Structure formats: structure tokens, C-alpha cells
Structure 1
Amino acid sequence: MSWIRNAWYVGATSAEVGDAPLGRRLLGARMAFFRDAEGRVQAVEDFCPHRGAALSLGRVCKGELVCGYHGLVMGGDGVTRSMPGQRVQAFPRIQRFAVEERYGFIWVWAGVADEADPTTIPVLEWHDNPAWAYDGGLFHIKADYRLMIDNLMDLTHETYVHSTSIGQQEIDETPCTTRREGKTVVTSRFMENIEAPPFWRGALEAIGVSGNPKVDRWQVCRFSPPSHVMIEVGVALAGHGGYDAPDDKKVYSVVTDFITPETDGSMWYFWGMARRFQPQDKDLTTRIRDGQHGIFSEDLEVLERQQQNLEAFAERKLLKLNIDAGGVQARRLIDEHMAQETATA
């Protein structure tokens, strides 16, 4: 196990947990999500104590989970309620998981459920905010979740992996800075008086800026434990203050990355973009989501092949360069939290 346990991870989107249960492996555990009679999301082990069937293959009836094998009825507290023609008082309780539904996501606590603190869930200011628009998606990726963190904290790869959309040579040519801010690692890069790549030219056109004007561009990546990366990105017309330019001179977004380990070699990646320009334009929201899907699909292939190489050449040591500072610091922060959990336990 190579992840922090006492923390909140995104386990699903709200839309994924409807009338039917959802089964998903997260943080090494098989979980079954369902809604109780009040519509609140519950999560228990995806394991029927009778014969070990997957509870998520059953159905929800009156807010309880009914096993699809022999009809055992399971409550959100992990206690068996009933079973046709059987006494269930002695059935062992299965594990329940603490969950919170917030900002369109189902957050799950990987550690002891009774120790879960909902106040530590990140605040997403754009949710239900008319000044913002948001959309995103989900990928299942066969790679260690820390490889995605490395990828997001070192955006120099954009020049090569995403050359037709958001990549450009100036990313390679502009040094980045990395620092710790408490429990956050921040890597930032600011580029001045450059041409906008295709994605950002399209964003400028959405606010009425045509042609190919010179811009100032920024990338500010923030990693927070256990595995969240928020990336402030955008461009402003050159000479108007860059990152601090007025809204009518820039396009500003936050790329959201919630990365949840499945196993030591696989992850669930909840990605999206919250933008603070033209929020009412639903067609633009769809185009940006589809564009992001294409961009992140390119990352997916790179990371899965990287994971295969790391397993095939496990004896090889990897190099650490200055561009790797964000990922290195993020991993160090993860290790610090894991060591603290071990010491406390």
C-alpha cells in the first residue's frame, strides 16, 4: 500500500450513484455505493457475508442493499437486516466507509470511518457559482497514481505529448519554480509575450479576441495531499498584467485533478476544468470538455506504457532533474503523511 489512508478521496461522481448500486475498487478495497431512503450515499464492502457475492450486483430496495444472489438485505452501517427464511442476528458486520456528497462528487475516507472529518474536504469555489462553468470526466488508468501526480506537476511534457493543442516550445524554454506552502507543493511557470497555442487561441476567440495576438501565459500547479492537483491556467493579452490582468483581457481556468488509487498499479482519474469566462456558453463547455478528453487521452497512453516499463525494468533507478522538483516534493509530502500515520498507529 503506497497511499495515505486518513484522507478524503473522490470515489465517484454524484451522477454515478443513482437508483442502482455502484461497485468500485478504491484504495485496495472493493466498495459498494448506494443511496438510502433519504437519498444519502452510503458505502460498504462489496462483499455479501453469506457467500461472498458482490453486493453491487444486486439492487436497492427501500434504501437498503439487496444481494442479487440470495436476497440478503444489507444496511449502510454494514449490518445484515434480513434474509428470506433465515436468521441473520449472528451474521458478521461488514466494513462501512465514511462518505460525503459534495460539489457533485462522492468523497470517501480511506481510513477508520469514525475518524473521518468532513471539514477537511477541499472547498471548490466554482460549484453552483454562476460566475464559473465546469465539466469533466473520468478515466481508469493502469498506472500508479503517483505517476499522474508527477505528470501534472511537470508540465514541460506538454511541448511533446500535447503539441497540437496546449504544447509550445516556450514551456521548455521558461524555467519553473517550486516551493512548499504548508501542506501544499506549488510549481509555477510564467511566459510573456508569446503566441497562444491552439487551445488558448480558441478560448480567446470565445471572449471576442480574434487573430493571433501575443499573450502572457501562466501555469500554477498546486498539489495537496492525499492526491489532489489544482492547476491555474490561462492567457492574457500581452502587456495587461498577465495573471493579474482584468477579466476582459484574459481567459482563466482551473484544471481539476482528483486522483484516487485503485491498486498499487492502477488509478481512477477524475478530471475537469472550471473556467471563469463565458460561463453561460454551454456549447463552449462541451467543446472544452471534449478537448480535455482528447488531451488527457494522450497522457493515458504515456502513463500506462511508463508503468509497464517500470515493472519490466524494476532494477533501474530513475533520474531526477530540475523539472521534476514538483513531483519529487509531492511524493516527499505523501511519504511524510504516510510515516506520520504509521507512527500514530
Structure 2
Amino acid sequence: MFIHNAWYIAAEPDELLSRPIVSRTLLGKRVAVYRGASGQAIALEDSCPHRRAPLSLGTVQGDGVRCGYHGAEFGSDGRCIRVPGQDAVPRAVVPTYPVIERHGYIWVWLGDPDLADGGASIPDGFWVSGDPAWIGGYGRMESIKADFKLINDNLFDITHAQFVHPESFGGEEVQFYRKARPGSDYIDREMSFEVGERSIRFRTHAAALGDEGGPLWRSMLAQSRGLEEWNDPIDYRMEVIWWAPCYTSFHIIVRPSGEPDAPPVEIYNLHAAVPESEGSSHYFYRSVRNYGDASMNSAFIDAVKFVFNQDKPILEGQQAVLGDRDLLETHPISFAGDMLPLQGRRILERMMATELTRG
């Protein structure tokens, strides 16, 4: 079961430069996304009502699209406007979906169009991904054979990083997650968290993190100063925000320990686990920073890919074990780090229940 009344990332704008129509399955629906002559991004069902050929195999005509099978044309509102060789035009309409371009992404609303909120529920924390002041605003999209809820769980529970990502951010600082208390402050060597109606936020901090921490944090400080390495303790802060149903932002800030007025060295890692089907997802992610120049981008891209490729086999392995079952149906044992993933799942359950009530 999916949450339909929400905004989902369907594509990155650059994808429409390399191919005129992008086909993507979202929430089990085939969707065709293209840019019309007016410059507006348009999304409609990727299916011609004549013989169900994918409209994504056709061509863009003005603000409409022409089916590549028999040439029927459909306007941006989905209505059939022309059939070659005949005067009669069928009263056929291809379903269309509200579209918004924001924060460097194309977002689509697949639910009740009367409930679309003009983009008000698009995660405001994703602003940084479209801000040219932040360096390395590249994006990637990977397919992963795992339920989006498993990906949410993975992003929530950073304790796994000590064992899955020891080369980057898997140091002892991830264990602060097990010392969780409600609140909004940065607490030295602990974690504070807030649970909202449709979001969860948590913060971790270490005033003097040495080599027991993940090497990535010291590497950030070294790179920002043009050094090969940084061996002194650092002041490390991380804020993570999750917005239902599937968006997560990691904001990392480091400074030399004991230098609160030093310019912050910052990274944002943005994740979107968009459901493709009940057991697969589209994983959009970006990493942007406030230091360095474009010459560092390729190294960051490689690092992001490396981390993703560590998570992917575990997530897909979980899905293979679960099959068609939801994780909670298997009555898993609980660890101290499970609290926030469970809170996130409860938020999703409430949203799904609301949709069912509306019918």
C-alpha cells in the first residue's frame, strides 16, 4: 500500500536534456515526464489509450505528445487532439498529474489532485540542493530492489554505519544514537530528537571527536584547508531530518575543537527513497558542500557511490528474505536504536489510514 497524496521526485531536470520523455514507474504507476515547448514540465500516464503503447516511446509536439505507435496526439491536459488519417477524434483522455519544479527536482503528485497543496508539503530542507551557492550540486538516481520503508529505516538508524561504512562515517560517534532523549539541543556525546506530525529530527554532537570518530569528518576539515590530513580533535555536529513519506537530509558541521568562532565546514547529504513498487525504489541522492571547488566533485561522487554500494546488498538482501511481507509482520527483535525508525513507520501508518478514510 502506498501513500498517494504526497509529492514524489519523479526526475531530475537534466534527464530531460538527454532524452525528450522520461518513463518512470512511481507507486506502481507508469508515468511519462517531458518538457513542453512552453518550458513547463508535464507528467501523464505512460500509456496510449489506443493500444497501450508507452507514450514515452513517442515524441513531444508543442506542449503535447505524439504516440510513437499510430501517431495519436494528446495535449498537455491529456486529451486526444488528433489521429492521423481521420477527422473524428476519440473522446479519450490520458490521466495527467500535477507537477512542480523545485529545489533542482521535478516533483509529481499522484493522488487526489484536489488535495495537492501547491507544493507546500515539499520538504523545505531540500532547498540547498538547488542553491548554486552550495558546491557539487550533482545528483544521482539508482534503482534498488527494496521497499522504501527499509531504506527509511536504514537512514534513521545510523548505528549500522560502524559496521557497514567504517571507511567513511562509521566511527564511535554513531553510538550516540543509542543515547537518545527528547529535545532540540546539541548534547555532547548524546542525541536529542523531536517527533512531529509528519517529520522527525535528531541531532548528535561531539565537542572533541578524535580518531575514534569516522575519518570522513576530519577529512572534511583537512580538505577545506588544503591539507593532506587533520589529526587534531574536531567539534562535530550532525542534524538529520526526515519528512514523510521518504525524504531525509543529513547536515554535518565540523570545526577545530575548542574554536567555536571558526568558519563552519558543512556538507548536506540528501536522500529520496521514492517507491517504484511494493519491493523496489528509486533512490535519488545528492551531496553538496560549502567549501572547495568543482575539482573536488568527482571524488565526492565516487564517495557517495561507494557508500550506496555498501548499503545496497544489505537492503536488497533484507527484501529477498522478507519477500512480500512487511518487516514488522515478522516480529523482529528490538535494539536501542530502533525507536525512531518505528516512530517513522507509525507516521506512515497514520497517513495511510487517513487516505483509506477519505476513500
Q: Structure 1-normalised TM-score? A: 0.90
Partner SS state of residue 317, structure 2: helix
**Selected match of 2:204 from 185, 189, 201:** 189
Deviation by residue 1:99-134 (Cα, 9 ceiling, x = unmatched): 111222100002023432224123333255454222
The sequence identity of aligned pairs, in percent, is 32
Matched, 1:143 2:146: yes
Matched, 1:320 2:321: no
Deviation by residue 1:208-247 (Cα, 9 ceiling, x = unmatched): 154311123233221111211111223322223xxxx445
What RMSD in Å do the two structures reach over aligned CA positions? 2.1
1:1-345 correspondence to structure 2 within 5 Å: 1=1, 3-18=2-17, 20-120=20-120, 121-123=122-124, 124-127=126-129, 129-133=131-135, 134-172=137-175, 175-177=178-180, 178-194=193-209, 195=211, 196-208=213-225, 210-240=229-259, 245-246=260-261, 248=263, 250-278=264-292, 281-311=293-323, 316-345=330-359
Equivalent position amino acid for 1:158 in 2: A
Q: Per-residue deviation at 1:88? A: 5.0
CA contact (8 A) 1:153 1:187 kept: no
Q: Per-residue deviation at 1:92? A: 2.3
CA contact (8 A) 2:103 2:127 kept: no
Deviation by residue 1:270-319 (Cα, 9 ceiling, x = unmatched): 111232233xx001233212211111121111101111011288773212
Deviation by residue 1:60-89 (Cα, 9 ceiling, x = unmatched): 122321111111112221111111113553
Cα distance in 2 for partners of 1:185, 1:176 equals 16
CA contact (8 A) 1:171 1:191 kept: no
CA contact (8 A) 1:233 1:252 kept: yes
Q: Per-residue deviation at 1:261? A: 0.3
Deviation by residue 1:165-196 (Cα, 9 ceiling, x = unmatched): 22113423663424313432123322342225
Cα distance in 2 for partners of 1:127, 1:149 equals 19
Q: Which runs of 5+ in 1 are unaligned?
A: none
CA contact (8 A) 1:193 1:238 kept: yes
Equivalent position amino acid for 2:351 in 1: H
Cα distance in 1 for partners of 2:132, 2:64 equals 36
Partner SS state of residue 38, structure 2: coil
Q: 1:246 to 1:53 in 2, by over 3 A?
A: farther
Q: Which has the higher contact order (CA 8 A, sep 6+)?
A: 1
CA contact (8 A) 1:176 1:187 kept: no
Instruction: After superposing the two structures, state which structure 1 stretch, 256-265 or 196-205, moved more.
Output: 196-205
Equivalent position amino acid for 2:10 in 1: G
Cα distance in 1 for partners of 2:129, 2:145 equals 29
Q: 1:337 to 1:237 in 2, by over 3 A?
A: same
Q: Which runs of 5+ in 2 are unaligned?
A: 181-192
Partner SS state of residue 126, structure 1: helix
Q: 1:176 to 1:275 in 2, by over 3 A?
A: farther
Deviation by residue 1:125-171 (Cα, 9 ceiling, x = unmatched): 32554542222311111000000100001111111111112211342
Equivalent position amino acid for 2:280 in 1: S
Q: Report the number of matched residues.
A: 337
Partner SS state of residue 118, structure 1: coil
CA contact (8 A) 2:176 2:204 kept: no
Cα distance in 1 for partners of 2:323, 2:130 equals 43
Q: Structure 2-normalised TM-score? A: 0.87
Cα distance in 1 for partners of 2:106, 2:88 equals 30
Q: 1:88 to 1:22 in 2, by over 3 A?
A: farther
